[in-house]
Structure 1
Amino acid sequence: MSARIGVITFPGTLDDVDATRAVKLAGAQPVELWHADEDIRGVDAVIVPGGFSYGDYLRAGAIAALAPAMRTVVDAAHRGTPVLGICNGFQILQEAGLLPGALTRNDGLHFICRDVYLQVENTDTAWTSAFSEGERILVPSKHGEGRFQASEQTLRELEDSGRVVFRYAVNHNGSRNSIAGVSSENGRVVGLMPHPEHAVEELTGPSTDGLGLLRSVMTTLVS
Structure 2
Amino acid sequence: MSMLNARSVLVTGSNRGIGLELVKQLVEKSNRPEWIFATCRNPEGPGAQALKNLAAKHEGVVINPLDTCEPNSIKAAAATVTECLKGAGLNLLINNAGIVSPVSMEDETPENMSEVYRTNVIGPMVVTQAFLPLLRKASRESPQKGMSCSKAAIVNMSSEGGSITNLLGWEMGRAINYRCSKAALNMFTRCQSLEFAEDEILCVALHPGCTTGNFNKCNKFC
Q: Comparing both structures, which one devotes a greater share of its residues to strand?
A: 1
Q: TM-score normalised by the shorter chain: which range applies? A: 0.3 to 0.5
Structure showing greater Rg: 2
User: What is the TM-score of this pair, normalised by structure 2?
Assistant: 0.37
Scaled by the length of structure 1, the TM-score of the pair is 0.37
Greater helix fraction, Structure 1 or Structure 2: 2
